[in-house]
Amino acid sequence: MMKLRGLIIAIVALGGLTGFLYWSNKHKPAETTEASAELPPKILALNDADISKVVLKRKNGDTLALEKNTAGKWQIVSPAPFAADQSAVSSMLGTFSSLTSDRLVEEKATSLESYGLTSPSLEVDLTEKDLQGQKLLIGDDTITGNSVFAKLEGDPRVFTMPRYDKTSLDKTANDLRDKRLLTAEPDKISRLDLITSKQDIEFGRSKDNWQIVKPKPLRADGSQVDELVRKLTSARMDLSVPGIDPKKAASAFAAGTLVATARITAQSGTQELQIRKSKSDYYAKSSVIDGVYKVASDLGQGLGKNLDDFRNKKLFDLGFEDPDKIEMHSGGKSYFVTKGGEDWWSGNGKKLDEDTAQSFVDDVRDLAASKFVDAESATPSIDLSVISHGGKSVEHVVISRIGDSYFARRENEPAIYQLDAKTVNDLQAAADAMKPAAITPPAK
């Protein structure tokens, strides 16, 4: 009897538990089901390629207007006509590709004043290419400060949207201006003139190789000339300090000391940039844009190099490639090194020890001037010839010695390269250290 009563109680308890679980599944809290079913609604979704005009209006009355020109490029038209930074404008307009709210505050707002939308802090008027318009109103910050209230004109809903989206849209003319002082593309420049109070240097480019043309034809260090081109084409007007008086900037420029005048020539024409220093500040005037602008000090300092800084100090144009053949005569000795496949071979057809041969080749490759000097009369002590690029390049250098100093001259070139004595001594030691490759005995 007792067992039967316990069984009945267990059955009743199980039935009650089952009923409770069924009821609880049918009566979940409303906010839980809604949270899983609803995502924050989008405020706006536009293709930035379809936008043809943007007007930003601030509560203080400032207005910024941009329009696409007939070439499809953005231009600032108000508060004054300026060329626009295309990537900066594109980044701003990218915000409209999917402008999503944090949450919907009111479905049908009857009063906008409490949200700061009666007199919004920022109004963004968009015109699309089919002349349809959208107007986004951005009001006060929320209590947390992470979001702002926003709505579309003509839409009764009020949203909150991330504050960083407002930051992406709240731009000034200085933010969106094309700040470049020279607009030519670096790889399109074929000529560069650098004029200072001490010298006038002209560089010419043929394909990818720079040469010094003026004051006389000289080999150029391509990396140094490329760095100069980079500095010039990346020069930007410094607008980080607000309220710089254009008249004061022009006055400082006029009274400043000339640092350099640079002219770059491309297929699109010639552009000029003049840099002057006033006290510790540098100012620039460009032929591309009206006005005088403060520029970063490293630009002015980068234009202060002299002719020798741009000259190629290497004796041989080998780069990182191995030569095909090296022939050296020194002190009655002759050395021949030829590349064959992956190996180095001597003049008598014997395979050379890889490490000692490569050391000699590297020392030839690294021969470079410590400085350039006037012509010296001396007896040649080393004669070097290097053949590379499948026989297309043949370079001949004669090294002479006066006391403990060494001087080198390339064939058909008037320049005299002064070499460090240690460099030449290391070269001779490496030549003497070359030895035949070890012979591996045949397997038994």
Q: Are 123 and 240 found together in one domain?
A: no
3 within some domain: no
Q: For the chain, percent helix, then strand, then coil, each to nearest 5?
A: 30, 40, 35
In the predicted model, is pLDDT for residue 316 greater than 90? yes
List the CATH number of the domain containing 75: 2.60.40
Between 380 and 274, whose confidence is greater? 274
376 within some domain: yes
What is the rounded distance in angstroms from the CA atom of residue 80 to the CA atom of residue 341?
A: 66
What is the rounded distance in angstroms from the CA atom of residue 58 to the CA atom of residue 224?
A: 47
pLDDT grade for 285, boundaries at 50, 70 and 90: very high
pLDDT of residue 36: 37
pLDDT grade for 378, boundaries at 50, 70 and 90: confident
What is the rounded distance in angstroms from the CA atom of residue 23 to the CA atom of residue 34?
A: 19
In the predicted model, is pLDDT for residue 6 greater than 80? no
Q: Are 158 and 197 found together in one domain?
A: no
pLDDT grade for 240, boundaries at 50, 70 and 90: confident
Domain count for the chain: 3
Q: Are 213 and 292 found together in one domain?
A: yes
Least confident of 2-11, 393-402, 419-428: 2-11
pLDDT of residue 16: 53
Q: Are 209 and 276 found together in one domain?
A: yes
Q: Are 268 and 207 found together in one domain?
A: yes
In the predicted model, is pLDDT for residue 385 greater than 90? yes
190 within some domain: yes
pLDDT of residue 242: 58
pLDDT of residue 157: 95
Percent of the chain topping pLDDT 70:
89
pLDDT of residue 260: 94
In the predicted model, is pLDDT for residue 17 greater than 80? no
Rg (CA), the chain: 37
Q: How many CB atoms lie within 10 A of CB 436?
A: 14
Domain boundary, last residue among 246, 275, 310: 310
Least confident of 14-18, 153-157, 279-283: 14-18
Please provide residue 292's backbone torsions phi and psi, each rounded to the nearest 5 degrees: -120, 140
pLDDT grade for 444, boundaries at 50, 70 and 90: low
What is the rounded distance in angstroms from the CA atom of residue 94 to the CA atom of residue 431?
A: 63
The CA-CA-CA angle for residues 107, 113, 117, to 5°, reads 75
Mean pLDDT for the stretch of residues 66-75? 94
Give me the amino acid identity at 87: S
In DSSP terms, 78 is beta-bridged to 65
CA neighbor of 138 nearest in space, from 152, 126, 128: 152
441 within some domain: no
Q: Are 274 and 368 found together in one domain?
A: no
Q: Are 278 and 343 found together in one domain?
A: no
139 within some domain: yes
Q: Could you tell me the sign of the dihedral formed by the alpha carbons of 37, 40, 45, 48, in that order? A: negative
Between 167 and 440, whose confidence is greater? 167
Domain boundary, last residue among 281, 310, 339: 310
Mean pLDDT for the stretch of residues 415-434? 94
Mean pLDDT for the stretch of residues 135-159? 94
Percent of the chain topping pLDDT 90:
69
3-state secondary structure of 161: strand
Q: Are 67 and 170 found together in one domain?
A: yes
Least confident of 36-50, 289-303, 316-330, 403-417: 36-50
pLDDT grade for 33, boundaries at 50, 70 and 90: very low
Tell me which residue range forms the domain holding 164.
42-176
Domain boundary, last residue among 310, 341, 373: 310
pLDDT of residue 288: 93
216 within some domain: yes
β-pairing, 122-128 with 218-219? unpaired
The CA-CA-CA angle for residues 183, 185, 190, to 5°, reads 110
Q: How many CB atoms lie within 10 A of CB 437?
A: 17
Q: Are 47 and 168 found together in one domain?
A: yes
pLDDT of residue 443: 72
Q: Are 168 and 215 found together in one domain?
A: no
In the predicted model, is pLDDT for residue 35 greater than 70? no
Quote the tokens at residue 205: 């480019």
β-pairing, 393-402 with 333-340? unpaired
Q: Are 169 and 49 found together in one domain?
A: yes
What is the rounded distance in angstroms from the CA atom of residue 426 to the CA atom of residue 362?
A: 11
pLDDT of residue 32: 35
In the predicted model, is pLDDT for residue 22 greater than 70? no
* Mean pLDDT computed over every residue of the chain: 88
In DSSP terms, 106 is beta-bridged to 158
Quote the tokens at residue 350: 């014997």
Q: Are 136 and 166 found together in one domain?
A: yes
CA neighbor of 67 nearest in space, from 83, 53, 85: 53
pLDDT, tens digit (0-9, with 9 covering 90-100), for 336-368? 999 998 999 998 889 999 999 999 999 999 999
443 within some domain: no
Where would I find the H helices in 234-377?
246-255, 297-302, 354-365
In the predicted model, is pLDDT for residue 227 greater than 90? yes
pLDDT of residue 246: 82
229 within some domain: yes
In the predicted model, is pLDDT for residue 62 greater than 90? yes
What is the rounded distance in angstroms from the CA atom of residue 129 to the CA atom of residue 51?
A: 6
Order of strands across the sheet that contains 257-266: 218-219, 209-214, 200-206, 191-195, 257-266, 269-278, 281-286, 292-295
Cβ(399)–Cβ(411) below 8 Å: no
